[in-house]
Amino acid sequence: MLNDENGQPVKSANQIKSISNQDLEKIEAFLQGCVYTWCNTKKKEAFCAADFVGGTNKEWKGTPPYTLFSSRLEQYRREYSQESENKLMQEHLIRQE
């Protein structure tokens, strides 16, 4: 199950705000397929989330998790951009004093 920004389980895509319930269902089905495949091909090996969505797995375009990644990336860019603007403004104001 996915967690929200506060670490609480996500019950609907409305908690993520940037993806639909349909996208959330696709992501869950995709990850369930990853687990099923791992369990059938590597029966005695433990796994972690990074085995499915990290490490050498770098090309996600066209997969359900990419929807979540791209929405989070846009959110990060907006927040980072705002932080940068604020920091530049503060530096500018300090120089003027």
Mean pLDDT of 59-66: 85
Mean pLDDT of 53-68: 81
Looking at the domain assignment, is residue 83 inside a domain? Answer: yes
Looking at the domain assignment, is residue 81 inside a domain? Answer: yes
Give pLDDT, residue 72: 75
Looking at the domain assignment, is residue 21 inside a domain? Answer: yes
Better-scored residue on pLDDT, 90 or 53: 53
Q: In a 3-state reduction of DSSP, which class is residue 9?
A: strand
The reported pTM is 0.60
Looking at the domain assignment, is residue 52 inside a domain? Answer: yes
Q: In a 3-state reduction of DSSP, which class is residue 68?
A: helix
CA–CA distance, 76 with 25 (Å, rounded to integer): 23
Instruction: Count up the domains in the chain and report the number.
Output: 1
- What's the domain range around 79? 13-96
Partners of 9 in the beta sheet? Answer: 3
Looking at the domain assignment, is residue 5 inside a domain? Answer: no
Looking at the domain assignment, is residue 6 inside a domain? Answer: no
